[in-house]
Amino acid sequence: MGNRLLSALLASAALVATAGFAEAKTVIHVMHQGDPGWVKAYGDVATRFEAANPDVDIEMIYAPHDAYNEKFSAAVMAKQLPDIMELDAPFLANYVWSGYLQPVKPLIDKDLLDDMTDSNIAQGTYPIDKDLYAIGLTDSSVVLYGNKKYLEAIGARIPKSVDDAWTREEFEGYLEKLSKLEGVKWPIDTFRGYGIKTEWITYAYGPLLESAGCDLIDRKTWKASGTLDGEACVKALTMMQDWVKKGWVVPTSSGTNQFYAEGQPAALAMGGHWFYAEASAAMKDNIVVMPLPKIGDKGVSPNGTWIWGISATSENPEIAGKFLSFLLKDKEYREYAKTQSAYPGLKSFAAESPLYAEGGPLAVAFEQASKTAIARPPHPAYPTITSAFMQAVDKIFNGGDAQEALTAAAKKIDEDIEDNAGYPPFDEQQ
């Protein structure tokens, strides 16, 4: 199979090279991201698939997580799309609209399609034709982690379900009390250290703002001006800026984990489900998992993760679908996913995952999926929407004027949509 950990920088060369010497086999190129553990898991599945299908060679093409979309764009420009690509769910509408993906229903085993959760179907479905273009073993969510010792010290109420989430008044009151508690350097880690090169800010902060009545764009008119720079968003971002000014939030310079780091200097963490495995190993019974706070009248949480699609240009879509079906059913891959507290996107995987079952430590995260999860805007302009929004939030957190930053972001989004004539047929949805 050759080297599975090909650098993304060598991807184009690898695609050309393999085409020359693998004529005796059907070569399926799989572009993906992930940390070393996931990369190994994918590679091991490829090895097992090749053993079961000796006429097929699986070439894994690795692209770094924070540069994945740029590397994908390079593959598009070079007209060398892989057969299978891992893609971040909110970008799906853009990929389908651009003609990069093909429907996967005819290519994936029916029992897997029937096994998908509603949220998994939603993250892989193109809103225009309602067809399924991607599938995954997993989905995702963000919860509020708490240091039990600190919360008990300030007498905080610990919610047990989504319906019991902290209100804004409770949340800010606890942040203030924690800021004065001995041992706590920062009341909350919102993982500002992830920066603006990933989806983190839009994915994790967006729901808090939506809870406060804000949104990144009007989802009926597909106009950002008047919504993203409206009163609700300005007030919500000003609220979060105030948390930063008061020193309640772990700064970017302090890295990506101060919650269970040595000394546990952060009392709370607004973290992804994937955070649980390491946090619980470090904190044992001192960790509590709570729903995201309800800033306004409704609770909101994120969903969507990295899922698998088959490119429209694949010359062997049936074999690509066969590999994806093999991957999603692979027992050892599923076992690894469980060790990473992977969030179930298949009903059978949920049944195998006691973390998310009723009474499980992450049950409240799974409860959010059915009660408060709202997908990021499913529009072809999403790459511009998220980029403009993240840059605005970064400016605001660094002391910028909220109205000014959000107005600039809204203008940039609307200009992109206008430059693309409304991304027809999305313009007809108004």
Quick check: do 25-137+303-352 and 141-301+376-418 share a fold? yes
pLDDT at 175: 98
Residue 423 CA neighbour count, 13 Å, CB half: 26
Instruction: Specify the CATH number of the domain 141-301+376-418.
Output: 3.40.190.10
* 342, 353 Cβ separation under 8 angstroms: yes
Instruction: Specify the CATH number of the domain 25-137+303-352.
Output: 3.40.190.10
Query: pLDDT in tens for each of the 430 residues of the chain?
Result: 444 434 443 444 444 444 444 457 999 999 999 999 999 999 999 999 999 999 999 999 999 987 887 888 889 899 999 999 999 999 999 999 999 999 999 999 999 999 999 989 999 999 999 999 999 999 999 999 999 999 999 999 999 999 999 999 999 999 999 999 999 999 999 999 998 878 999 999 999 999 999 999 999 999 999 999 999 999 999 999 999 999 999 999 999 999 999 999 999 999 999 989 899 999 999 999 999 999 999 999 999 999 999 999 999 999 999 999 999 999 999 999 998 899 999 999 998 899 998 899 999 999 998 899 999 999 999 999 999 999 999 999 999 999 999 999 999 999 999 999 999 999 987 5
Spatial distance between the Cα atoms of 123 and 332, rounded to a whole number of angstroms? 25
pLDDT at 21: 47
Spatial distance between the Cα atoms of 61 and 29, rounded to a whole number of angstroms? 7
User: In this structure, is the dihedral angle defined by the CA atoms of residues 380, 382, 383 and 388, taken in order, positive or negative?
Assistant: positive
pLDDT at 429: 72
What ranges do the domains of the chain cover? 25-137+303-352, 141-301+376-418
Spatial distance between the Cα atoms of 260 and 337, rounded to a whole number of angstroms? 22
pLDDT at 23: 57
Query: Which residues have CB under 8 Å from 147's CB, separation 6+?
Result: 259, 264, 266, 267, 268, 283, 286, 287, 288
pLDDT at 5: 38
Spatial distance between the Cα atoms of 262 and 185, rounded to a whole number of angstroms? 12
pLDDT at 430: 57
Using alpha carbons only, what angle is made at residue 63 by residues 59 and 68, rounded to the nearest 5 degrees?
Answer: 135
Q: What are the pLDDT digits (tens) for 32-83?
A: 999 999 999 999 999 999 999 999 999 999 999 878 878 888 898 999 999 9
pLDDT at 24: 79
Q: What is the pTM of this model?
A: 0.89
pLDDT at 155: 98
pLDDT at 16: 44
Q: What are the start-end ranges of the E strands in 273-410?
A: 287-290, 306-311, 343-344
* 127, 378 Cβ separation under 8 angstroms: yes
Please give the structure tokens belonging to residue 318.
Answer: 């049936």
Residue 170 CA neighbour count, 13 Å, CB half: 15
